Amino acid sequence: MEQRLAPNTKLSEARLCETFGVGRMRVRRALLLLSSQGLIELQSNRGAYVACPDKSEANDVFAARMLIEPPLVRQLAQSSSDIDLTVLVDHIALEDAARIQNERTEIIRLSGEFHTKLAQASGNKFVFRMMRELVTRTSLIVGLFGSSQNASCPDDEHNNILKAIQTKNAELAEQLLISHLNHIQSGLDMESRQEPQDDLAAILGMD
Partner DNA sequence: AACTTGACGATTGTTAACAATCTTTGTCAA
Partner DNA sequence: TTGACAAAGATTGTTAACAATCGTCAAGTT
Are the C-beta atoms of 10 and 48 separated by less than 8 Å?
yes
Q: Which residues pair with 42 in a beta bridge?
A: 48
Out of 42, 94, 130, 203, the residue judged to bind a copy of itself by CB under 8 A? 130
Least distance from DNA to the Cβ atom of residue 46, Å: 5
60 contact, one of DNA, a copy of itself, none, CB 5-8 Å limit per kind: a copy of itself
**CA 27, CA 53: separation in Å to the nearest integer?**
23
Out of 16, 40, 50, 61, the residue judged to bind a copy of itself by CB under 8 A? 61
Cβ nearer to DNA, comparing 14 with 100: 14
By CB under 8 A, tell whether 140 contacts a copy of itself: no
Out of 1, 19, 38, 47, the residue judged to bind DNA by CB under 7 A? 47
Segment contacting DNA by CB under 7 A, of 19-27, 59-67, 152-160, 161-169: 19-27
By CB under 7 A, tell whether 100 contacts DNA: no
Binding site for DNA (CB under 7 A): 12-14, 23-26, 28, 42, 44-48
